[in-house]
A and B are shown apart, each in its own frame.
Chain A
Amino acid sequence: MTPLRETRPPVIRKGTTAQGVTEQISDIVLRRPVGLPYLFAVAMVLILVMALSYTVMYLIWKGVGIWGVNIPVAWGFAIVNFVWWIGIGHAGTFISAMLLLMRQDWRTSINRFAEAMTLFAVACAGMFPLLHLGRPWVFYWLFPYPNVMKLWPQFRSPLVWDVFAVGTYFTVSLIFWYVGTIPDWATLRDRADNSVKWFVCGMLSLGWRGAARHWKRYQTAYLLLGGLAAPLVISVHSVVGMDFAAALVPGWHTTIFPPYFVAGAIFSGFAMVLTLAIPLRAIYGLDNLVTIRHIDNCGKLMLITGSIVAYGYCSELFMGWYGGSPFDWYMDWNRMSGPYLWSWWTIVFCNVLTPQMLWFRQVRQHVPTMFLISIVVQIGMWTERFVIVVTSLHRDFMPSAWGLYEPTIFDWSTLLGTMGFFLLCFFLFVRLVPMISMSEVRELVHTTGGGEHEPVDFSPKYGD
């Protein structure tokens, strides 16, 4: 090995064995008792979920008027939250698919929970357009189904493309995630200590027995699913970008939206991976599998995608000036100095300045700092969507049609409520599903010869 390589933290820590990994991961599901802190955390998020339920019921009873949406800002928090959640939902499949195709071995210990995060985030995202419909109970009008009205959805509209893009993304991500879990359910079945666990895990494993021919087909299918999911990651947020770009509103009508949205999505998604991974590895003692290397690499990816986002901001400013349209130029000016200037300067701080710290390895490998940065980036990316939706709409062309948008308590309770729902799903996932792919880590243990040694310059922190 070259000296350069030795300074990199290992993907899995030395001394990890196939037996050890199997016990470590499956015991979290099968044997670890449910502690009071866990129950307390679940109770806390259930309060948020309850707030969400009340809000949704009141919304159905009363209508979307309980939110702050009105003309000219008819999209408001609902669409801000939709774009934010679906963006977060991008990292999971990116990690699983793109990194699988590129044979990145560090994907192995984080792909399972990143994919779970994707599914839950997309579920949260999906609520918002439905609730924003006004009459959520006729949501199925969005689908092409045989109906007595003899009507079809407007297939030329990006909003209908969204239904297909998000629906396909959720389905394919779910397939990908479930196929990945099948061999691990078999492990849980074989380690089950009572017949209920044995039966449930056995059914979920579909009777997987690890036959060589099965593995061969399984791997081919998994690789092809990766190849299919990779362009899907790009397509989903591109279509979300087109929801905006197809409109004529200044600040929306721009061709940079699809790539800029995709980069922003992966940026916030990796931030969420860190927000979840850092407490998980501490609480469940997974730091032999989710190492500094993973945190470091997530930091690098955040730096790259954050730079693309910063480029997007620059391009918007430049095109506003260069395009020569007074409306576009005013939109830029209004963002920086109008009634919502706090939001524009927040995104500059959170998404452009803060990620610059990630150029330094000391920062990328310092766990508490990375946790903090990941939170800052998520606040920044939420605010970015606020800037795009609200500051573009509230002053478009005619000053007589201008207005201000103010979120109500119900806007906040839906946002916080979906956070609660997301965390509740994640808390349940952590205790009910093996959160790291055991079969893949076993293979990694074998190919790396039981993990790599800690690099010399890390010995002060981890040596003793």
Chain B
Amino acid sequence: MAIETEQSLHRPAHLFGLAASFDSPEATVAAARRIFSAGYRHAEGYSPYAVEGLAEALGFHRTGIGLLVFMGGVFGGLGGYFMLWYANVISYPWNIGGKQPDSWPAFIPITFEMTVLGAALLALFGMLILNGLPRPYHPMFRAPTFELASQTRFFLCIEVADPMFDLNTTRQFLESLGPLAVMEVPW
């Protein structure tokens, strides 16, 4: 691919990107690898089910979900234990059977439940927020035949935002990947 300057690339403002459709996950992953090795970084795959290795082929490795869930668990657990401790030691100490106010074994079940609750809530909301959902509208929905992306068909889209995007060379490149079709995705 010829080295071109930013100005000479043809990047129409009315387009979101160029998409190519495929009918098998293997072909999609292979094409995604070639897109990434060609240097495109603003590319995304769309599939009707989770395809092993597709995100990795596009250069996406770390989700960040694990850390969030861990933090949610730690926060929930510590918060839960603090509530129990505060209630029984500071706010309303009450002698039951001569046990010390901070009788920690009795606090374990609720601490456990709060740990799980905190982690699960962050798993849900962390996933949604990092994914930018809910987002009812997205330009990809206007790509032709994109309704099949939730049923049987696979798509790869190179976005205009990519520094290497050029309407003609990118289209030729996508067509060289052996897709079912290459289509323009309007904004």
A: residues with CB less than 8 A from B are: 18-19, 22, 144, 150-152, 155-156, 158, 160-161, 164-165, 167-168, 171-172, 175-176, 178-179, 183, 186-187, 189-191, 202-203, 206-221, 224-225, 228-229, 231-232, 235, 239, 242, 439-440, 442-443, 446
Contact, CB under 8 Å: B151 / A164: no
- Between A and B, 21 residue pairs with Cβ closer than 8 Å are A18-B152, A152-B92, A156-B88, A164-B113, A171-B117, A172-B120, A183-B48, A187-B150, A202-B136, A207-B134, A208-B133, A209-B141, A210-B47, A212-B60, A213-B60, A213-B131, A217-B64, A224-B123, A225-B123, A229-B116, A446-B49
B residues 104-129 touching A (CB-CB < 8 Å): 106-107, 109-110, 112-114, 116-117, 119-121, 123-124, 126-128
Q: Is residue B130 within 8 Å, beta carbon to beta carbon, of the partner chain?
A: yes
What are the residues of chain B within 8 A of A144 when measuring CB–CB? Answer: 83, 87
Please tell me which one of the listed residues B49, B109, B124 contacts residue A443 in the complex, with CB atoms under 8 A apart.
B49
Please tell me which one of the listed residues A19, A150, A215, A228 contacts residue B151 in the complex, with CB atoms under 8 A apart.
A19
Q: Is residue B177 within 8 Å, beta carbon to beta carbon, of the partner chain?
A: no
Q: A155-B88, A210-B149, A442-B48 are in contact. Are A168 and B60 (CB under 8 A)?
A: no
Contact, CB under 8 Å: B151 / A207: no
Contact, CB under 8 Å: A155 / B110: yes
> How many A-B Cβ pairs are below 8 Å?
188
CA distance A160 to B135 in the complex (A): 39
Please tell me which one of the listed residues B32, B47, B110 contacts residue A161 in the complex, with CB atoms under 8 A apart.
B110
Pick from A150, A172, A176, A213 the residue with the most CB of B within 10 Å.
A213
Contact, CB under 8 Å: A212 / B51: yes
Q: Is residue B65 within 8 Å, beta carbon to beta carbon, of the partner chain?
A: yes
Q: Is the interface of B mostly helix, strand, loop or mixed?
A: helix
Contact, CB under 8 Å: B116 / A207: no
User: What is the chain B residue whose CB lies nearest that of A210?
Assistant: B46
CA distance A22 to B147 in the complex (A): 13
Q: A212-B47, A212-B60 are in contact. Are A189 and B150 (CB under 8 A)?
A: yes
Contact, CB under 8 Å: B44 / A439: no
List the 4 closest pairs (A to B, CB-CB), nearest first: A212-B45, A206-B134, A221-B127, A190-B147
Q: A168-B113, A212-B58 are in contact. Are A217 and B44 (CB under 8 A)?
A: no
What are the residues of chain A within 8 A of B116 when measuring CB–CB? Answer: 168, 172, 228-229, 231-232, 235
What are the residues of chain A within 8 A of B140 when measuring CB–CB? Answer: 209
Pick from B32, B60, B116, B130 the residue with the most CB of A within 10 Å.
B116
Q: A172-B116, A210-B149, A212-B58 are in contact. Are A440 and B126 (CB under 8 A)?
A: no
Contact, CB under 8 Å: B151 / A18: yes
CA distance A178 to B128 in the complex (A): 12
User: What is the chain B residue whose CB lies nearest that of A447?
Assistant: B52
User: What is the chain B residue whose CB lies nearest that of A203?
Assistant: B136
Pick from A164, A171, A210, A214 the residue with the most CB of B within 10 Å.
A210
User: What distance in Å separates the Cβ of B133 from its nearest Cβ neighbour in chain A?
Assistant: 5
Contact, CB under 8 Å: B107 / A171: no
User: What distance in Å separates the Cβ of B58 from its nearest Cβ neighbour in chain A?
Assistant: 6
Contact, CB under 8 Å: A213 / B55: yes
User: What is the chain A residue whose CB lies nearest that of B128?
Assistant: A206
User: What is the chain A residue whose CB lies nearest that of B24?
Assistant: A446
Please tell me which one of the listed residues B50, B137, B151 contacts residue A218 in the complex, with CB atoms under 8 A apart.
B50
User: What distance in Å separates the Cβ of B80 from its nearest Cβ neighbour in chain A?
Assistant: 8
CA distance A446 to B140 in the complex (A): 25
What are the residues of chain B within 8 A of A215 when measuring CB–CB? Answer: 47, 49-51, 54-55
Contact, CB under 8 Å: A217 / B134: no
User: What distance in Å separates the Cβ of B112 from its nearest Cβ neighbour in chain A?
Assistant: 6
CA distance A187 to B148 in the complex (A): 8
CA distance A191 to B141 in the complex (A): 13
Contact, CB under 8 Å: A218 / B131: yes
Q: A150-B92, A225-B123 are in contact. Are A443 and B117 (CB under 8 A)?
A: no
CA distance A151 to B124 in the complex (A): 33
Please tell me which one of the listed residues B48, B60, B66 contacts residue A439 in the complex, with CB atoms under 8 A apart.
B48
Contact, CB under 8 Å: A217 / B131: yes
Q: A164-B114, A207-B136 are in contact. Are A217 and B127 (CB under 8 A)?
A: yes
